[in-house]
Every structure is written in C-alpha cells, then in structure tokens.
Amino acid sequence: MNVYDSARMGEALALGGYAAAQAPEEADLIILNTCHIREKAAEKVYSEIGRLKKLKEKNKNIILAVAGCVAQAEGEEMLNRAPILDLVFGPQNFQTLPNMLDELQTRRRQHIKGGIVQTAFPAAEKFNALKSMPRKPLSRQPTAFITIQEGCDKFCSFCVVPYTRGAEISRPADDIEREARALIAKGVCEITLLGQNVNAWYDARAAFGLAGLLKRLAKIDGLARLRFTTSHPRDMNDELIAAYGELPKLMPYLHLPVQSGSDRILQAMNRQYTSADYLRLIEQIRLVRPDIALSSDFIVGFPGESEEDFAATLDLLREVEYAQAYSFKYSPRPGTPAAEKEQIDDAIKTERLYRLQALLTKQQTAFNQAQKGKTLPVLFEKLGKKQGQMTGRSPYLQPVHVMIAESIRNSRDLCGQILPVHIEKCHANSLSGALVG
C-alpha cells in the first residue's frame, strides 16, 4: 500500500514539474513514506532521518518530509524529535502534497520557522481527489496496484492499523474501473487490488462486494491478470471463493493471514475465527481451485502464547502447506490492547520464529520444486540481473528468470507479454527456465 501511495505522490508531484531523482543527493524534495506496523519499521525512519540530516546541513533548500503511518502516529512529536523535518503528513493526507509544498515555500519566503503537520483523517476526500489525479505511471510497468479500500474496523488486539489508517472505507466501483482502464490503456496487464481488508470492500450504491468488482474488472480487454491483497478470513465469503473457480483472470494465489493456529491466542488477538474455521475456508477454496498457492502472515510470541499454542500453529502449517508466508515476532505497539499485557521473553520469540521459518522454508521449497518440469505462463516484467535475462512472474507469484536469445531480444519487446516457460530449476525464492517454442 505504501508503494501505491508513493507512486501516487510521485504522479502528483510530476504534475507540478517534479521528476524522480536517482539518489537523495540529487533531490530537492525527499519523502520518507513510512510504516508503523512493527517497532523495527518505525525505528528505521529515525535512523534514515539521521542520515539525511547531513544532506540538509549542506543544502538548506532541501525539503525533507515524512509521510505514512509513523507520521500519523507521532504527528507533532516527530518535529520535536527531528526539527530538521519540513513536512509530516499521514497516509490520508498525501493528496494535499502540492498545497503543502506551496504553503512551505510561502512560509520560507516569510522566514517563518517550523514544519507543517497534517494528520487529519479525510479518507473520503482523499479518494475523491485520487479520482481527478490522472494515473501517469512514471515508468513502463506491466503490473500495477490500485488501492480500493483502506483502513480497518476489526481492531485485532496487536495491530496499530485502525489507529493509523483510520476507519474502513471503500472506493466506489466506478472510480476503480476508471483507474484500471487508464492503467490498461498505458500497457498494464496485471492489476493487484489493495486494501488492509481488501475482501471487506463493498460498493453500497452498486450493491456488490469484491467478487462483483473482480467480475467487472475481468471483463476489460487487455487485462490479463487480477490479484488482491490482503484478505481477512472473516470476509472470505462464498461468492468470493466461487470467483476462484469462475474467473480465469483471477490468479491462483491467495494471501490469507491466519496469525496463529491456537484458538486461545486467536481469541486473545480478537481475530474472530477459530483454526477450524480457517481450515474449512482453505478446503473450500481448494475445492474450486485445486492449484491455489496459499500465503499467510504469522505472529509468534503474542502475549500469553505457550509452547502448546505455538505447537498448534506448527500443526496448522503442516495441515495447510503454504507456498510462502511472512512471519514476525510480536512487537508491542503503543496504544493497542496487547501491548498492555505481560510480554514473552525475546529469546523465546526468536527461537519460535526460527522454528516456524524453518518449516515455512521447507514448504516454500517443496512448492517451488513441484513446478519443475511444468510449463507455466510467465508475465515478463523487467530485465533480469544477468545479461540477456528477463524476469517475470508465474501465476503463483514466483519470480521466474529466463535467458532470452539475442535474436528474440532484438526483434521483440517481451516486457508485458505472457509466454509459456518450461521450468527447469528451482532456487531459494525463484524459478528459472526456458521459453517454449
């Protein structure tokens, strides 16, 4: 979501004459778009500001901004801790970036000191503004994100998102379709719909949810692939599950965070499902799309997690067999209920994370190995790291590296094309193979 927000900020700035710099040393304006989900992510911001301070000491005209959820959570406090900052604005405020920059220039002319802070929650206003901001991708990319939903009303007891991104809000279907069509007209052929709770998306006027939206977007010529992320198990309704069997453009990959396999911990997390509910969903999805690749998020060391609770998580993993997953040590976030509870020793968290990740790596490797010998449609996205190589994605989101003969490279631009690739090798996080035919 921050990648999407950053892209939109770039597009808004381009309208005002800005162009992307290649390095901070060359920039007039530097925006750090930040994440507050775990403490580590938030701390990185201050060390980065420390580095950028040196640039600003050399050139006072540089504008230094912090955007995103750290800015939202800390607001004025950021200016106290880092007075070198000129702008601090939350994730619901970036549409006013050109105005903030104008105001800053006026202030500078009048020698008014101090930075500007904007952390109100005008989410509906932002979505409205996005409508009139033309999508002008700064680089030619066959894949694109569209934020369709933001915020969260679920209040999982570990999570800061409902406080930083605000209440759940959906963009209207017409606006999303317009943005999709603009991207497709520019050569985009894969769209990933984004939202903190993307499957809670709902258009009250059109009276349909995410399944209806996917069906509508799948009708657009030129669009080859659709994805969405991140979903909550509670909103994985029958219609959406059925869509996996009905829409060939909907890619067979689902990120469905479970967080824990222990019902006791799931309840303490306020997730509002049991591990059996989750497993039932997986079974239903596999029934309509047997080749679906599954991904998840896990938290280890949530307050009160016993060895038995952790063992239940490992059991769930074995039951599901994930194609890939993200896993984290629980990180207490100020203001969230779980942060008030007695905390688990960090050494225990580290050890559990290690065991969990060892099993996940095994599963991911097995999933990748299973592709060997198959022919997969690969959407080519960019040049690979090696000379003569191109990199794309399989339907299961695996990066696939392919050496392309010079004669083909010279005669055709493969970027944005979906071509069959015979998978020959499996690496830690990617596959490689050869073009068929």
Interacting residues with ligand 5AD (CB under 6 A): 37-38, 158-159, 257, 259, 297, 299, 328, 330-331, 333
* Residue 223 contacts residue 249 (beta carbons within 8 Å): yes
Q: Is 224 in the site for ligand SF4 (CB under 6 A)?
A: no
Min separation Cβ 304 and ligand 5AD, Å? 14
CB of 295 or CB of 391, closer to ligand 5AD: 295
Hunting for tokens 């609770």 — which residue is that? Answer: 309
Helix axes 307-320 and 275-288, enclosed angle (nearest 10): 10
**Which of ligand 5AD, ligand SF4, none does 232 bind, CB closer than 5 to 8 A by kind?**
ligand SF4
CA nearest neighbour of 94 among 133, 134, 67: 67
Residue nearest ligand 5AD (C-beta atom): 297
d(CA 1, CA 222) in angstroms, rounded, equals 24
Would you count residue 152 as binding ligand SF4 (CB under 6 A)? yes
Region binding ligand SF4 by CB under 6 A among candidate stretches 26-34, 153-161, 183-191, 315-323:
153-161
Residue 333 site contact among ligand 5AD, ligand SF4, none (CB < 5 to 8 Å, cut-off depends on kind): ligand 5AD
- Under the binding rule (CB under 6 A), the answer on residue 432 touching ligand SF4 is no
Helices 238-246 and 275-288, axial angle in degrees (round to 10): 30
Cβ 87 to ligand SF4, closest distance in Å?
A: 26
Other CB atoms within 10 A of residue 279 CB:
15
Which of 89, 94, 53, 46 shows the shortest CA–CA distance to 69?
Answer: 89
Q: Distance between CA atoms of 161 and 211, rounded to whole angstroms?
A: 24
Furthest-apart CA atoms within the chain: distance in Å: 68
Region 289-318 residues binding ligand SF4, contact defined as CB under 6 A? none
Which residues inside 196-215 make contact with ligand SF4, applying CB under 6 A?
196-197
Question: Distance between CA 138 and CA 141 in Å, rounded?
Answer: 9
H or E element: which one contains 82? none
Choice between 38 and 44, CB closer to ligand 5AD: 38
For residue 366, the number of C-alpha atoms closer than 13 Å in the C-beta half-sphere is 13
| Interacting partner of 142 out of ligand 5AD, ligand SF4, none (Cβ under 5 to 8 A depending on kind) | none
Binding site partner of 295, from ligand 5AD, ligand SF4, none, Cβ cut-off 5-8 A by kind: none
Number of residues that bind ligand SF4 (CB under 6 A): 10
Interaction site with ligand SF4 (CB under 6 A): 152, 154-156, 159, 161-162, 196-197, 232
